[in-house]
Structure 1
């Protein structure tokens, strides 16, 4: 931190101070609400990252948390667009997305009920909405529209029970559910990992979503350590990061592999077109053959 302060910030202070003084008051208020008045004064007004190391760590954590929430708004959009453009769900596991949706809804409800800072769980709501969209598309393109409607109905009932009517699920049960959410989050990756391994390719799986998730889960471990003293949340993020590493490794390994659907179609064509075999039999009626009979 001393190196950063002396080598980077100190030489830039004459240029940064006029910029800081020109920042509107609502922005200062927002920073105070995020990191507190002492840290706001040390980091923004005094431009000193060495004054209180805890403030620097908190500011980094808040910045990462807000970045994760912002990125989560679009993290699954490439996956949704890829499914729509291809009209195929090859390589994408519905079970994986259904389990992840359940895990996200529980974590969202747990964060809201315990009044954790929004920057530590806010992305769960945005990603859950996108996961529901992906799940519906996967089922529809698999010809299971009735199952897609049932999936949406189950999600709606779960949201009502967990968030809007807290008498249905008490605090103790919510804690048990959160303990299970970590296991669900881990389990949600297993079907997708297996699907990629079984089909020998990533199909319509979005690389942007996979690598974005890897970075996000790593950042979440840091923000949880800084801002949330809850082992249930921390262990869930650590386990999720471990399996996201496997998914990212698969994405790199199968990067140039053909889509599973294309490979399947090639196999079917090969099965339908038998190889020509010589039987030695003469052509049947209707076929023109050479003759040695003389015409009178």
Structure 2
């Protein structure tokens, strides 16, 4: 016997069924599955889809404008925080894959981790350019550029990333991954602290993409909802909900920290706008 969803799909292409009957069938199927579960699935799929490119605005900040601007952005980013966050994403993805959790429930962790790795490598490169450890690329051909990067500390950073990926996906036992997933909660908080401290020190968050900050808050909020929906469903069926509790706690912690970074961007942007007129007046007086 075909599943209700298959029956509904076949009905869409049937000439013998009116639109009214089709709509009634759709609503009855949605009610049977549960509106909350359907919404969670849709939001989860949307989150994974958007996460495939959501960090691109931050990557663009490290690729466009002048080299001086790129170096400024690179120095404003916390590599320690980004590195720890990327490891958290990797552990989270491996943990969910090992527990056979649907990809739409954690896929953004893998995609965000890849984009984070690109940001780290670019930021590392421009920091080394600022320190004079990498020569100017303007007069080098493609082969010479690759050789220069291969001899720099950027290659060391890439090697560490590859080694960490191999360890967590191929070598680390499931028990270790489960333990690290629990520690993922305090780590997710700790990972954001260096960037929060850096923003406070610089009194600006202009080096961060507002699009990315906004998306991080929305994404965390969606994940709190989807993971809580899974927890509620298993709880009603009296199944083990220990993994779901860990995920809910982790996403809630991420929501708090992402909201803090978003708040910093708003506050510092307003402060900088308020101080600009005062600085302009002082310049006119001096003239």
Alignment: residue pair count: 224
Trace 1:22-41 onto structure 2 (pairs within 5 A): 22=13
1:195 to 195, 198, 213: 198
- 1:253 matched to 2:267? The reply is yes
Q: What corresponds to 1:78 in structure 2?
A: 57
| TM-score normalised by structure 2 residue count | 0.71
Q: Does 1:125 align with 2:110?
A: yes
Q: State how 1:164-179 maps to structure 2 within 5 Å.
A: 165=170, 168-179=171-182
2:86 corresponding residue in structure 1: 101
Query: What displacement does 1:22 show?
Result: 4.3
Distance 1:51 1:254 in 2: 45
Do the aligned partners of residues 120 and 45 (structure 1) sit closer, same or farther apart at CA in structure 2, a change above 3 Å counting? farther
- Aligned partners of 1:148, 1:43: CA distance in 2, in Å? 58
In the alignment, what sits opposite 2:77?
Answer: 92
Q: Does 1:224 align with 2:227?
A: yes
Work out whether residues 12 and 22 of structure 2, in 8 Å CA contact, stay in contact via their aligned partners in 1. no
Deviates more, 1:65-74 or 1:80-89: 80-89
Bigger radius of gyration among the two: 1
Aligned match of 2:284 = none
Change (3 A) 1:49 1:250: farther
Partner of 2:166: 160
Deviation of 1:185 (Å): 1.5
Separation (CA, whole Å) in 2 of partners of 1:43 and 1:196: 54
Describe the superposition over 1:50-73 as per-residue Cα deviations: whole angstroms up to 9, x where unpaired: 973752111100000001001101
Gaps of 5+ in 2: 1-7, 15-20, 134-148, 232-240, 274-287
In structure 1, C-alpha distance between the alignment counterparts of 2:55 and 2:22, rounded to whole Å: 34
Q: Give per-residue Cα distances to partners, 1:126-163, cap 9 Å, x unaligned.
A: 10110001111111111166433222211111211222
Greater shift in the superposed pair: 81-90 or 48-57: 48-57
Q: Distance in 2 between matches of 1:43 and 1:242?
A: 43
Q: Secondary structure at the match of 2:204?
A: coil
- 1:285 match: none
Residue by residue over 1:259-289, the C-alpha shift from the partner in whole angstroms, topping out at 9 and shown as x without a partner, is 9xxxxxxxxxxxxxxxxxxxxxxxxxxxxxx
Give RMSD over aligned pairs.
2.9
Structure 1, residues 207-264: CA drift from partner, whole Å, max 9, x if none? 01111000000100111112254222211111110111111111111225669xxxxx
Partner residue of 2:257? Answer: 243
